[in-house]
Amino acid sequence: MSFRASVLTLFPELFPGPLGASLAGRALAAGLWQLEPVDIRAFATDRHRSVDDTPYGGGAGMVMRADVVDRAVATVADGRPLILLSPRGRRLDQARVAALARGAGVVLLAGRYEGIDQRVIEARGFEELSIGDYVLAGGELPSMVLLDAVVRLLPGVMGASASAAEESFSDGLLEYPHYTRPPVWEGRAVPAVLLSGDHAAIAAWRRAEAERITRERRPDLLAAKVASRAGAP
């Protein structure tokens, strides 16, 4: 069975959106993963098909109802991780993406309005993941971000599996710079070592560049790498 992604949303028409193009779209068409948008509004029971209500305690905005959301969850929950996209969640990173890609799939819950009634988040054990410290209007784009990152790691999706192993974050470093033809552009030459044909020298240069860029831009990543080595058995 291929990786199955169910996305619970008030806007199912937004899918597949960008996930229908390029790498993810070709993989979807080839059956390497499955995408199932689930319309939360279909699980409303009153005649206005309401999915939200005013917050207890007062305040601005509306809150998505636990009972309606839960009926939608129940139609797809089958042991796959339940994930709520939320600015309150732990920051999504490549390690979590890779772990999800090794599993059978995900059930994603995309919030709207002020968010979701806390009780259904707790009762069903949703993991909360954020895509960054800013607030979007809904969880659909964050769901697409998560799926784009996961799908490209699924077996058979990327041509050369080595390219995933070398890219940013996969070994705790940012990636080295890339160059292609022409060899000189606007007076800027490609680093000579890349034209040398000396594979060991090229590998050493790329490693040094990855370390330099990480040190300059994300010293926190280097510190985490050192700490994880120190903690390793």
Residues near ligand SAM (CB under 6 A): 85-88, 110-112, 114-115, 130-132, 134-139, 142
Query: How near is the Cβ of 84 to ligand SAM at its closest, in Å?
Result: 7
Cβ-based burial of 142 (10 A; exposed 0-12, middle 13-18, buried ≥19): buried
Minimal distance in Å, beta carbon 21 to ligand SAM? 22
Least CB distance to ligand SAM at residue 157 (A)? 23
Helix/strand/coil (H, E, C) string of 8-41?
A: EECCHHHCCHHHHCHHHHHHHHCCCEEEEEEEHH
Least CB distance to ligand SAM at residue 61 (A)? 7
CA distances 186 to 182, 183, 194, 195, 196, Å, are 10, 10, 18, 18, 21
At residue 117, φ and ψ (nearest 5 deg) are: -50, 125
Outline where the chain has alpha helix (H): 22-29, 66-76, 94-101, 118-123, 140-151, 161-166, 199-217, 219-231
Cα distances (angstroms) measured from residue 45 to each of 41, 74, 171: 9, 15, 49
Q: How far is the CB of 161 from ligand SAM (least distance, A)?
A: 29
Q: Smaller CB distance to ligand SAM: residue 7 or 210?
A: 7
> In the complex, which residue's CB is closest to ligand SAM?
111
Residue closer to ligand SAM, measured from CB, 84 or 173: 84
Instruction: Give 109 or 173: the residue with its C-beta nearer to ligand SAM.
Output: 109
Closer to ligand SAM by Cβ: residue 139 or 172:
139
Q: Quick one: 10 or 173, whose CB is closer to ligand SAM? A: 10
Identify which of residues 112 and 206 has a Cβ nearer to ligand SAM in the complex.
112
CB of 49 to ligand SAM, least distance (A): 20
Within a 10 A sphere around the Cβ of 192, how many other Cβ atoms? Answer: 10
